[in-house]
Amino acid sequence: MNEWEVFRRERKGQPFEHAGSVVAPDADFAEAWAREQYGRRGESVALWLVPRDQIRDVEDWADEFDLKYRRVDGYSIKARLKLARENASAVAEGGA
Amino acid sequence: MGKLTIVRKVVCVAAVEVPPDEQAFLEYVQSGGQVETTDWMPDDYRAKLIKFIEMHGNSELMGVLPEREWILKAPTLQRKLALTAKVQDEVGHSQLIYRVAEDLGKPREQMLADLISGKAKFHNVFHYPTYTWGDVGVIAWLVDAAAIISQKALLKCSYAPYARIMKKICWEESFHILHGRDVILAMVTGTPEQFGLVQEALDRWWGPLMQFHGNPIPAGEDPMYKWRIKSQGNEEARQQFLDGYVPQILELGLELHDPKLRKRDDGVWEYTEPDWDELKHVVTGHGPKTQERLAFRKHFLDQEQWVRDVVLAA
Amino acid sequence: MTGVGSTEPEKSELPASPAGRSANKAQEQQLLAIADDELFLGWRESEWTGIAPMLEEDVAFSSIAQNEIGHARAIYQLIVGEDGDADALAFDRPLDEYRCAPFVELHLLDWAHTIARRWLYETADQIRLAALKDDSDPAVAGLAAKIDREEMYHRMHAEMWHDRLKDEPRFTAAVEELWPYALGVLPPKLRGELVQRVGLAEAEAVERGAHTDDLAPMWEEMTEVRRSAPAGTQW
Mean pLDDT of C79-87: 96
Per-residue confidence (pLDDT) for residue A76, from 0 to 100: 76
β-pairing verdict for A3-9 and B262-263: unpaired
- Contact status of C174 with chain B (Cβ, < 8 Å): no
Q: What is the complex's ipTM, to 2 decimals?
A: 0.91
Of residues B88, B99, B312, nearest to A25 (C-beta)? B312
Mean pLDDT of B106-134: 96
**Banded model confidence at residue A95, pLDDT cuts 50, 70, 90:** low
Residue C17 · residue C24 · CB < 8 Å: no
Residue A51 · residue A24 · CB < 8 Å: no
Does residue A54 carry a pLDDT above 90?
yes
Q: Does residue C3 lie within any of the structural domains?
A: no
Residue A10 · residue A58 · CB < 8 Å: no
β-bridge mates for residue A50, sequence order: A5
How crowded is residue C117: how many other Cβ atoms within 10 Å of its Cβ?
A: 23
Mean pLDDT of B273-282: 95
Contact flag B85-C56 (C-beta cutoff 8 Å): no
Closest CA to B180 of B213, B126, B133: B133
* Distance (Å, whole) CA C118 – CA C48: 13
DSSP code at position B154: G
* Beta carbon pairs, B and C, within 8 Å: 118
Contact flag B183-C235 (C-beta cutoff 8 Å): yes
Does residue B7 carry a pLDDT above 80?
no
Per-residue confidence (pLDDT) for residue B18, from 0 to 100: 59
DSSP code at position C23: G
Q: Does residue B71 lie within any of the structural domains?
A: yes
- pTM confidence score: 0.90
Phi-psi region of C199 (alpha: psi -120 to 50; beta: other; left: phi over 0): left
CB contacts of C165 in chain B (<8 Å) are 310
Q: Does residue A90 lie within any of the structural domains?
A: no
Indicate which CATH number applies to the domain containing B240. Answer: 1.20.1260.10
CB contacts of C54 in chain A (<8 Å) are 23
Helices (H), chain B: 22-30, 43-71, 77-103, 108-117, 133-138, 144-153, 160-188, 192-211, 223-226, 234-250, 276-281, 290-303, 305-311
pLDDT per residue over A67-88, tens digit each? 767 777 667 788 888 889 999 9
Residues 6+ away with beta carbon under 8 Å from C10:
C25, C29
**Domain span holding position A12:** 3-54
Phi-psi region of B270 (alpha: psi -120 to 50; beta: other; left: phi over 0): beta
β-pairing verdict for A56-58 and B7-9: parallel
DSSP code at position C67: H
pLDDT per residue over C6-39, tens digit each? 343 344 444 444 444 544 888 899 999 999 999 9
Kindly identify which residue of chain C lies nearest to residue A25, measuring between CA atoms: C164
Write down the number of H helices and E strands in chain A. 2, 4
Contact flag C160-A29 (C-beta cutoff 8 Å): yes
H or E element in which residue B59 lies? helix B43-71
Of residues A23, A32, A40, nearest to C156 (C-beta)? A32
Reported in sequence order, the residue ranges of chain B that DSSP labels E, i.e. its strands, are 7-9, 262-263, 269-270
Per-residue confidence (pLDDT) for residue C6, from 0 to 100: 39
Per-residue confidence (pLDDT) for residue B17, from 0 to 100: 57
pLDDT per residue over C129-182, tens digit each? 999 999 999 999 999 999 999 999 999 999 999 999 999 999 999 999 999 999
Which chains have 3+ CB pairs within 8 A of B?
A, C
Q: Does residue C13 lie within any of the structural domains?
A: no
CB contacts of B172 in chain A (<8 Å) are 41
Of residues C57, C163, C164, nearest to A33 (C-beta)? C57
Does residue A52 carry a pLDDT above 50?
yes
Per-residue confidence (pLDDT) for residue A36, from 0 to 100: 97
Q: Torsion angle, CA of A27/A33/A35/A41, rounded to 10 degrees?
A: -170
Contact flag A29-B102 (C-beta cutoff 8 Å): no
pLDDT per residue over C180-200, tens digit each? 999 999 999 999 999 999 999
Indicate which CATH number applies to the domain containing A48. Answer: 3.10.20.520
Mean pLDDT of C105-115: 98
Q: Does residue B299 lie within any of the structural domains?
A: no
- Contact status of B312 with chain A (Cβ, < 8 Å): yes
Mean pLDDT of C205-234: 96
β-pairing verdict for B262-263 and B7-9: unpaired
Does residue A94 carry a pLDDT above 80?
no
Q: Does residue B16 lie within any of the structural domains?
A: no
* Distance (Å, whole) CA B160 – CA B34: 6
Mean pLDDT of A30-39: 97
Instruction: Decide: helix, strand or coil at residue A47.
Output: strand
Residue C113 · residue C174 · CB < 8 Å: yes
Mean pLDDT score of chain B, rounded to an integer?
92
Per-residue confidence (pLDDT) for residue A77, from 0 to 100: 84
Burial of B169 (0-12, 13-18, 19+ CB in 10 A): buried
Does residue A53 carry a pLDDT above 70?
yes
Does residue B204 carry a pLDDT above 90?
yes
Residue C33 · residue C76 · CB < 8 Å: no
- Sequence length of chain A is 96
Contact flag C59-B300 (C-beta cutoff 8 Å): no
Q: Does residue A89 lie within any of the structural domains?
A: no
Indicate which CATH number applies to the domain containing C147. Answer: 1.20.1260.10
Residue B90 · residue B126 · CB < 8 Å: no
- In degrees and rounded to multiples of 5, residue B256 shows phi and psi of -115, 125
* Distance (Å, whole) CA C42 – CA C35: 10
Q: Give C62 to chain A, closest Cα distance, Å.
A: 9
**Domain span holding position C125:** 21-218
Q: Does residue A74 lie within any of the structural domains?
A: no
CA geometry: angle B223, B110, B152, nearest 5 deg: 40
- Contact status of A33 with chain C (Cβ, < 8 Å): yes
Per-residue confidence (pLDDT) for residue B29, from 0 to 100: 96
CB contacts of C47 in chain B (<8 Å) are 68, 71-72
- In degrees and rounded to multiples of 5, residue C162 shows phi and psi of -60, -40
Per-residue confidence (pLDDT) for residue C64, from 0 to 100: 98
- In degrees and rounded to multiples of 5, residue A19 shows phi and psi of -110, -25
Residue B51 · residue B34 · CB < 8 Å: no
Please count the structural domains in chain B. Answer: 1
How crowded is residue C7: how many other Cβ atoms within 10 Å of its Cβ?
A: 5
Q: Does residue C26 lie within any of the structural domains?
A: yes
β-bridge mates for residue A57, sequence order: B8
* Distance (Å, whole) CA C190 – CA C183: 9
Please count the structural domains in chain C. Answer: 1
Please count the structural domains in chain A. Answer: 1
β-bridge mates for residue B7, sequence order: A56
Interface of C with B in 95-154 (CB under 8 A): 110-111
Residue B86 · residue B147 · CB < 8 Å: no
End-to-end CA separation in angstroms for chain C? 37
H or E element in which residue B205 lies? helix B192-211
**Banded model confidence at residue B13, pLDDT cuts 50, 70, 90:** very low
Alpha-carbon distances, residue A56 vs B4, B6, B40, B100 (angstroms) = 10, 6, 20, 20
